[in-house]
Amino acid sequence: MKKYTLPFIQSKSILPFVKLTSPEGKEIYALVDSGSESTLINKSFKKDYPGIIQSSTVIGKTKMTGFAGEKEMILLQAEAKVPMITDKGEASAIEFKGYVDDLTTLSSYVSKIYGVEWSFSILIGSDTLRSLKAKIDYSNNALVLFVSSKR
């Protein structure tokens, strides 16, 4: 396991955001939310970043109540391998499982309320933080994670 430190993006926001830069130069923004039990991947991720979603599986249906009332949703779980350039300048990847959802509304809300200038494609929940043995280091404004060196 290799230790990597991803600095939080400096902004007016108090929320911890990290930017993953792929070897091709694509920037993927992620909100780190230890209060969220599950990791969420924006449903447009597969189209926006081809090759990152490794597999997806329908795991059931649920009813969700929101602004527009109640609607039925298909629960889709995906396995993703997000490439990144680490703080040491090395190419690596974060592997995780997450639920596929439309994060557009949440991203817009966060942008409006907290003055964030970008939209995010991943909400990194406590499930991924535990699996990566990650630590949110508020004193150094960084996410510290451990990635398998078997790539």
Spatial separation of the C-alpha atoms in residues 132 and 149, rounded to whole Å: 12
Average pLDDT over residues 44-54: 74
Q: Is the pLDDT of residue 66 over 80?
A: no
How is residue 117 written in tokens? 């200038």
Spatial separation of the C-alpha atoms in residues 83 and 17, rounded to whole Å: 17
pLDDT tens-digit series, residues 73-107: 666 777 777 777 776 777 777 777 887 887 888 88
| Cα–Cα nearest to 151, from 87, 82, 93, 79 | 93
Q: How many helices (H) and strands (E) does the chain have?
A: 3, 10
pLDDT tens-digit series, residues 103-144: 888 888 888 888 777 788 888 889 889 888 899 998 888 899
Of all residues in the chain, the percent with pLDDT exceeding 90 is 0
Residues 6+ apart with CB under 8 A from 126: 33, 34, 35, 36, 37
- The pLDDT assigned to 151 comes to 47
Per-residue pLDDT band at 69 (split at 50, 70, 90): low
What is the model's pTM? 0.76
Total residue count of the chain as it appears in this document: 151
**DSSP assignment, residue 67?**
T
